[in-house]
Amino acid sequence: MNATMFYTTITSPIGELLLASDGESVTGIYMQDQKHGAGQTRDWKRDDTALTEPRTQLQAYFAGELRDFELPLAARGTPFQQGVWRALRDIPYGETISYGELARRIGQPAAARAVGLANGRNPIAIVVPCHRVIGANGSLTGYGGGLARKSWLLAHEPRGRLI
């Protein structure tokens, strides 16, 4: 049996975002036409008040007034995915790293491809900054929300360096 999920939408510079919550934590932030989207079911209930704080923090981020999110998160994924998503939260605002570096940071230096796949399945876009992971040569590669959005998000944050 599925628990009720709550959602709302927010207009942003990269299009409408769907915010999801289990009533206590953010479980998803999805972009329109995202490769691995929300998968809403009839158990989802629209509740614009349940997600006031995530909405406020996202608006502050897009306004250039917030760099670090402070939200309870509850992304659902495998233990490996969870490890990748935790490591993503350690990438500072305005910096980028390669998939290989991210694999090294989680203690699995040969797993760059698997890290890329886990990165692509990140259900909490922007707050868990998968957009900060780029190709080893500095190129923008893969992004569930599309490369134009990834480019916008990276340009929105001060230019960082490849680590």
Q: How far is CA 23 from CA 115, 116, 145, in A?
A: 29, 30, 25
Nearest to 129 by CA among 115, 138, 119: 119
Other Cβ atoms within 10 Å of 52 Cβ, number: 11
Cβ neighbours of residue 121 under 8 Å, at least 6 residues apart?
Answer: 36, 77, 81, 144
- Which amino acid would we find at residue 19? L
What's the rounded Cα separation, in Å, for the pair 95 and 163? 8
Q: What are phi and psi of 63, to 5 degrees?
A: -80, -5
Query: Which residues carry out catalysis?
Result: 130
| 68: DSSP letter | S
